[in-house]
Structure 1
Amino acid sequence: MKKFLIGLLILTLVLVTSACSANGSASTGKKTITVVWYPNESGADMKDSRQALDKIIAQATGKKVIDKLTTDYNIAIEAVASGNADIGFLAAQGYIEAHQKNNKVLPLVVNSGGSGTLKDAVYYSWISVPAADASKYQTNGQYSLANIAGKRMSFVSTASTSGFIIPTAQIIHDFKSQSKYSNLKQADLTQGGKFFSQVLFGQTHQGSAVNLLTGKVDVAAFCDTELERYVDVASGTFDQPGATYKVKSGAPEPFNNLAGKEFTALTVTPVLNAPIVMNTQTLSKQDQQKLLSTLTSDKVANDKSIFAPANSKAMFFKTGKNDRFLKIDDSWFDPIRKLSE
């Protein structure tokens, strides 16, 4: 009986300990941190940027960093929500979806604008067409979306902020005054026959642009930060409506066979910068604090391997003098949430 009671006590302690571990923050004894990356940042051209951030994380926590590369937005979102990854570099919509799945997923930091504040912590969503067809999308001498109905369209992923949430909100806004489209919904824009004749998803911003440049679609949505390392401005001003961009000679995959191809941005819409997020169930409070302190430090802000010079092939780069990581909370993403309501 005594042995039975001792065994029962040990079993009870194990179960209680396991429950605490599952419901509380992770043990500080964890020796690795897994970082998951969207498809856009999983390519070979982003390897140096991934490794630079991994190095900072490893130095801050003293732990080995493991990268989880993906080919699908939803895989990355699920990895953070389920705890198969501790940290993820997700766009605003991706964070929102991960947080909905698991409210223990919270933002860690976001990169500021050139002012060093959140006031200009934005990048831009483009809705573009082949440059040769751009004149067909002008109304009273101004570029507009008025003629995109019935065209073949490419988005990035339904989980993409700048490659789906923002452009669909823009389209609905621009067409809602027409009786034919007064009840147009986001879901109507995901399939052919509702508003567009055909809808494709590139799965990356690069993939959506390739769909456009190879003639698979007539119109495509993607963002500036994922395209600018592959293109030069052929005419107009960068990040302004009507600017035309040309694929660089020697551009890496998937643009290696598209040098010289041109597209024109019809609309340019600001988007909240993408956060680095964490699963607070799997990442210990100590590691959370270490990472927050390190990532928001002047040392990281001045680290050229993290905030690279402008126009470099990097994940983050200087847009002004004071770019840095800033602490951010969940409510900052409420404007993006409202677009999907």
Structure 2
Amino acid sequence: MKKIALSVLALGVISALLLAGCGTTSSTTAAAAKDPDTITIAWLPNNAGEDFKDTRAAIDKVIADATGKKVEDKLTTDYAIVIEAVSKGDAQLAFVGAQQYVEAHNKNPKVLPLVVNSGNSGTLSDAMYYSRFAVKKGNESQYQSGSGFSIDNIAGKRMGFVSPSSTSGFAVPTSQILSTFTKQDKWKNLTKDDLTQGGNGKFFSQVTFGGSHQGNAVNLLTDKVDVAAIDDVDLVSYVDLTSGKENTEGAVYTVKNNATAPFDKLAGAQFTLIKPIPVMNGPIMVNTGALTQQTVEKLTAALTSDTTTQDTKIFIPKDSKTKGFFNQPQHFLKVDDSWYQPIRDLK
């Protein structure tokens, strides 16, 4: 398998890692806040399913034990709901992707990253997951380039994104498309907005938003789209790698026989990766105007503690039946706003 060149985004990530280090959450905005009686944590559609209730409950318990407060989950069906809830303070916390964090911070500068999950090294140097262009198995020959694959032939296809506010399901793949195609005279004026809708004269013949990475993958496997932008972390519980190397061009993934909804009727269905792109992990973000600085510090200490790191319902051991968002040997690290500058720098 040939070595995949890092994208411009990945280079930005590495630069940001070197500059930002672990950072700390700013204390300037939280000092005058007042704690609510109940702390609310909002969850993206990808993470709001029944499969993830045990992990959500374990994180809720860490928050409750650290603060002495009741904790309530806000389960959502739309990325925009999470962004709006935290920026307004209706929810004080949320686990989100980098793009959702940037949008929430833009709406309210008091929204800051609290912690982020490390890479398997235990540091920020590999605190990444993958945004991936995928096609249904059997159609990959349309995207071959030499001995590998590329996105050179995706113009005119039916494209599936997750949400306009998704990092790996929209912001990163559209940036990659613009970087690739605006070098061509035909598409030199192409913009991100142009990629949100299809039709005659448009870059794509059709554009669909799946609402979640799971929904977008289902659209691909049921022939509603030709190409889908999907991440790895939100699908790991539903598919197995059956050919190639994890998160590389040509890797084939197969829906598990015991996959739960929305994949329960798709056992054995397969997709192939034509381009994977590394992306920095998203944070648990906090509205520092909606919690006191003391509470923010308690939450940071609790989430980065050894007790949390060793909680197998939060950091899931290999081969565990529990479905969650983080895996061993990862743990939470403090991080600051500047670490997400590469996302702001995307086209």
Superposition TM-score, scaled by structure 2 size: 0.88
Confirm whether residue 278 of structure 1 aligns to residue 276 of structure 2: no
Partner of residue 236 from structure 1, selected from 240, 244, 249: 244
1:118-267 superposed matches below 5 A? 118-193=124-199, 194-267=202-275
SS of residue in 2 equivalent to 1:221: strand
Partner of residue 316 from structure 1, selected from 326, 332, 341: 326
Cα offset, 1:31, TM superposition: 2.4
Partner of residue 98 from structure 2, selected from 69, 92, 99: 92
Q: Is the 8 A contact 1:212 1:218 kept in 2?
A: yes
Deviations 1:187-244, CA, capped at 9 Å, x for gaps = 1111103200000000100011011011101000010000111001121111111101
Cα offset, 1:23, TM superposition: 9.5
Confirm whether residue 287 of structure 1 aligns to residue 277 of structure 2: no
Amino acid at match of 2:153: N
Cα offset, 1:284, TM superposition: 1.3
Q: Is the 8 A contact 1:25 1:280 kept in 2?
A: no
SS of residue in 2 equivalent to 1:225: coil
Q: Which runs of 5+ in 1 are unaligned?
A: 1-21
Q: Is the 8 A contact 2:238 2:259 kept in 1?
A: yes
Q: Which runs of 5+ in 2 are unaligned?
A: 1-28
Cα offset, 1:140, TM superposition: 1.5
Q: Is the 8 A contact 2:79 2:165 kept in 1?
A: yes
For 1:67 and 1:284, the matched residues in 2 are separated by 20
Cα offset, 1:299, TM superposition: 1.9
SS of residue in 2 equivalent to 1:286: helix
SS of residue in 2 equivalent to 1:153: strand
For 2:70 and 2:297, the matched residues in 1 are separated by 17
The aligned counterpart of 1:11 is: none
The aligned counterpart of 2:112 is: 106
For 1:119 and 1:25, the matched residues in 2 are separated by 34
For 2:218 and 2:188, the matched residues in 1 are separated by 32
The alignment's C-alpha RMSD in Å is: 1.4
The aligned counterpart of 1:27 is: 34
Greater alpha carbon shift after TM alignment, 140-149 vs 200-209: 140-149
The aligned counterpart of 1:83 is: 89
Q: Is the 8 A contact 1:163 1:221 kept in 2?
A: yes
Confirm whether residue 301 of structure 1 aligns to residue 309 of structure 2: yes
Q: Is the 8 A contact 1:92 1:274 kept in 2?
A: yes
For 1:330 and 1:234, the matched residues in 2 are separated by 38
For 2:234 and 2:57, the matched residues in 1 are separated by 18
Q: Is the 8 A contact 1:38 1:70 kept in 2?
A: yes
Q: Is the 8 A contact 1:25 1:282 kept in 2?
A: no
For 2:249 and 2:309, the matched residues in 1 are separated by 31
Give the 3 Å change call, closer, same or farther, for CA 217–286 of structure 1 in structure 2: same
Higher relative contact order (CA 8 A, sep 6+): 2
Give the 3 Å change call, closer, same or farther, for CA 23–324 of structure 1 in structure 2: closer
Q: Is the 8 A contact 2:31 2:293 kept in 1?
A: no
The aligned counterpart of 2:10 is: none
Q: Is the 8 A contact 2:30 2:290 kept in 1?
A: no
For 1:87 and 1:155, the matched residues in 2 are separated by 25
Cα offset, 1:250, TM superposition: 1.6
Deviations 1:10-34, CA, capped at 9 Å, x for gaps = xxxxxxxxxxxx9963325x32100
Partner of residue 69 from structure 2, selected from 46, 63, 67: 63
Cα offset, 1:116, TM superposition: 1.1
Q: Is the 8 A contact 2:30 2:293 kept in 1?
A: no
Amino acid at match of 2:60: D
Amino acid at match of 2:334: K
For 2:91 and 2:105, the matched residues in 1 are separated by 14
Superposition TM-score, scaled by structure 1 size: 0.90
Radius of gyration: which is bigger?
1
Deviations 1:247-292, CA, capped at 9 Å, x for gaps = 0002001001111111001011101101000011111111101001
Q: Is the 8 A contact 1:229 1:311 kept in 2?
A: no
